[in-house]
Structure 1
Amino acid sequence: MLLAPPARFCAAATAVLAFLALAMKYAVAVSETGGTLPDIVWSLARYFTILTNALVLAVFGYMALTGRRIGDRLAAGLVVWIMAVGLVYRLLLAELWEPRGLEYLADLGVHTVVPLAVLGWWLAFAGTARLWWLDPVIWLAWPLAYLAYALARAGVDGIYPYPFLDPGRLSSTQLVWNVARLMEGFAAAGYVLLGLARLRLRLLWRAKRAQASRPGSSSR
Structure 2
Amino acid sequence: MIQAPTSNSIFEVIIRFFSYFTILSNLIVFAYFISKALSAELGENGFWTKPETSTAVTVYITVVGIVYHIVLSKIHNPQGLAKIADHGLHSFTPIITLLYWGVFVSNKKVNYSSIPYWLLYPAIYFVYTIIHGALTQFYPYPFLDVSKIGLLQSFLNCLVVLVLFTFLSLLLSLIANIRYKKLNPST
TMscore range, shorter length: 0.7 to 0.9
Tell me how far apart the structure 2 counterparts of residues 97 and 120 of structure 1 sit (CA, whole Å).
26
* Structure 2 CA distance for partners of 1:203 and 1:31, relative to 1, 3 Å: farther
Residue 198 of structure 1 is matched in structure 2 by 177
Please say if residues 58 and 94 of structure 2, whose CA atoms lie closer than 8 Å, have aligned partners that are also in contact: yes
Residue 144 of structure 1 is matched in structure 2 by 123
Alignment match of 2:14 (pick from 26, 41, 47): 41
TM-score (norm 1): 0.71
Deviations 1:86-111 (A, max 9, x none): 00111111100211210110010000
In the TM superposition, residue 201 of structure 1 has moved relative to its aligned partner by 2.3
- Consecutive aligned runs of 4 or more in structure 1 exceeding 6 Å deviation: 34-37
Are 1:76 and 2:55 counterparts?
yes
Alignment of 1:49-88 (within 5 A): 49-67=22-40, 68-69=43-44, 70-88=49-67
Deviations 1:152-173 (A, max 9, x none): 2222221011111111112332
Tell me how far apart the structure 2 counterparts of residues 131 and 53 of structure 1 sit (CA, whole Å).
22
Give the match's secondary structure for 2:109: coil
Tell me how far apart the structure 2 counterparts of residues 148 and 172 of structure 1 sit (CA, whole Å).
12
Residue 147 of structure 2 is matched in structure 1 by 168
Please say if residues 63 and 165 of structure 2, whose CA atoms lie closer than 8 Å, have aligned partners that are also in contact: yes
Residue type of the partner of 1:50? Answer: I
TM-score (norm 2): 0.83
Matched residue count: 178
Residue 160 of structure 2 is matched in structure 1 by 181
Tell me how far apart the structure 1 counterparts of residues 126 and 165 of structure 2 sit (CA, whole Å).
13
Identity of aligned residues (%): 27
Deviations 1:22-46 (A, max 9, x none): xxxxxxx344449897554332101
In the TM superposition, residue 129 of structure 1 has moved relative to its aligned partner by 4.1
Alignment of 1:203-214 (within 5 A): 204-205=183-184
Alignment of 1:58-137 (within 5 A): 58-67=31-40, 68-69=43-44, 70-126=49-105, 128-137=107-116
Tell me how far apart the structure 2 counterparts of residues 168 and 33 of structure 1 sit (CA, whole Å).
21
Greater displacement, 148-157 / 38-47: 38-47
Over the residues paired in the alignment, what is the CA RMSD in angstroms? Answer: 2.5
Unpaired runs of 5+ residues, structure 1, are 1-28, 207-220
* Structure 2 CA distance for partners of 1:178 and 1:120, relative to 1, 3 Å: same
Tell me how far apart the structure 2 counterparts of residues 66 and 163 of structure 1 sit (CA, whole Å).
39
* Structure 2 CA distance for partners of 1:91 and 1:199, relative to 1, 3 Å: same
Unpaired runs of 5+ residues, structure 2, are none
Residue 157 of structure 1 is matched in structure 2 by 136
Please say if residues 72 and 128 of structure 1, whose CA atoms lie closer than 8 Å, have aligned partners that are also in contact: no
Deviations 1:98-142 (A, max 9, x none): 112101100100001111111122122227542233443332111
In the TM superposition, residue 184 of structure 1 has moved relative to its aligned partner by 0.8
